[in-house]
Chain A
Amino acid sequence: MPDLDRDIQDTLASPSGASAQLPLDASAAAAVKLGRSIVVTSGKGGVGKTTTTANLGTALADAGRSVVVVDADVGLRNLDVVLGLENRVSKHLLDVIEEKCSLDEALVRDRVRRNLLLMPAAQNREKDDVPEEKMAQLVRQLQERFEFVLIDCPAGIEQGFRNAVVGAQEAIIVTTPEVSAVRDADRVIGLLPRAIELKLVVNRVRPAMVKKGTMMSVADVNAILRLDLLGVVPDEREIIIATNRGTPVIDIEGSETGAAFRRIARRMLGEEVPIPSFEDKRNFVTRVMSTLGLGRS
Chain B
Amino acid sequence: MIDFLAKFFRREEASSSRARERLRLVLMSDRVSLAPDIFDAMKGEMLDVLRRYLEIDERGMDVHFENAERQFALMANIPVREVKTHEAIALARDVANRLQTADVLESQPTVATPPRRRRRRRARAAANAPLAAQPSDEAGALQAIDDAGAPPPSG
Contact = CB atoms under 8 A, between A and B. Distances in A.
A, B from the same assembly:
yes
Interface of A: 4-5, 8-9, 12, 177-179, 182-183, 186-187, 190, 210, 212-217, 220, 224, 291-293
Contacts, number: 60
A213 B23 contact: no
A183 B12 contact: no
Nearest to A186: B27
Contact of B16 (A12, A182, A183, A216): A216
Contacts of B20: 216, 220
Given A5-B35, A213-B14, A214-B12, A178 B26 contact: no
A223 B31 CA distance: 16
Majority SS at the chain A contact face: helix
B16 A179 contact: no
Contacts of A4: 38
A8 B34 contact: yes
Interface size class of B (residues with CB under 8 A): 20 to 34
A50 B65 CA distance: 37
A187 B30 contact: yes
Interface of B: 4, 7-8, 12-17, 19-20, 22-24, 26-27, 30-31, 34-35, 37-38
Given A210-B16, A214-B15, A224-B27, A292 B7 contact: yes
Contacts of B15: 213-214
A124 B49 CA distance: 59
Given A210-B16, A220-B16, A179 B37 contact: no
Nearest to B7: A293
Contacts of A187: 30, 34
A120 to B, nearest CB: 34
